[in-house]
Structure 1
Amino acid sequence: MTVERYIRIMAGFVVMLSLALGFEGSPIFVNQWFLALTAFAGFNLFQSGITGFCPPAFLFRWLGVPEGGSACRK
């Protein structure tokens, strides 16, 4: 897998987990403030799409994940 795929997987996981923790109808509800994490993930995806700057890409490259795709430029 490539850096781009890991970033998409991580963003999707953060959104789904924060919705599960922040939605009152969820069986694992903790607090509504977890929905702020959903907003943060969405904002990060938005700015990454516009600027090409993607902070998690640095981490994945440092961990040795191979490059691929064009979602996150160096």
Structure 2
Amino acid sequence: MNLDRAVLTLAGSMVLVSALMAALVSSWWLLLTAFVGLNLLQSSFTGFCPAALVFRRFGVTSGCAFR
């Protein structure tokens, strides 16, 4: 798995967990979904993604999006 797929897997998982928690616990969990979406949007423009930095430190190989 390369860095791009790892970041997208993490983002998708966080959105699904947030939606599940919003349905079962509290609608305040939708703020996590908004945060993940805003982070994806900002990283598409700037190329900076904090999750990519963390994955890179764990030795995940680079993809074409986050170098």
The TM-score with structure 1 as length reference comes to: 0.86
**Which runs of 4 or more aligned residues in structure 1 lie more than 2 Å from their structure 2 counterparts after TM superposition?**
none
State the Cα distance separating 1:69 from its structure 2 match.
1.9
Task: Please tell me whether residue 13 in structure 1 is matched to residue 13 in structure 2.
Answer: yes
* Greater helix share, structure number: 2
Equivalent pairs counted in the alignment come to: 67
Looking at CA atoms only, which structure, 1 or 2, has the larger radius of gyration? 1
Match of 2:44 in 1: 49
**Identical residues among aligned pairs (%):** 45
CA RMSD across the alignment: 0.8
Match of 1:35 in 2: 30
Distance 1:19 1:69 in 2: 29
Aligned AA (1:44): N
Q: Which runs of 5+ in 2 are unaligned?
A: none
The TM-score with structure 2 as length reference comes to: 0.94
Q: Which runs of 5+ in 1 are unaligned?
A: 24-28
State the Cα distance separating 1:6 from its structure 2 match.
0.3
Query: Quick one: higher RCO (CA 8 Å, sep 6+), 1 or 2?
Result: 2
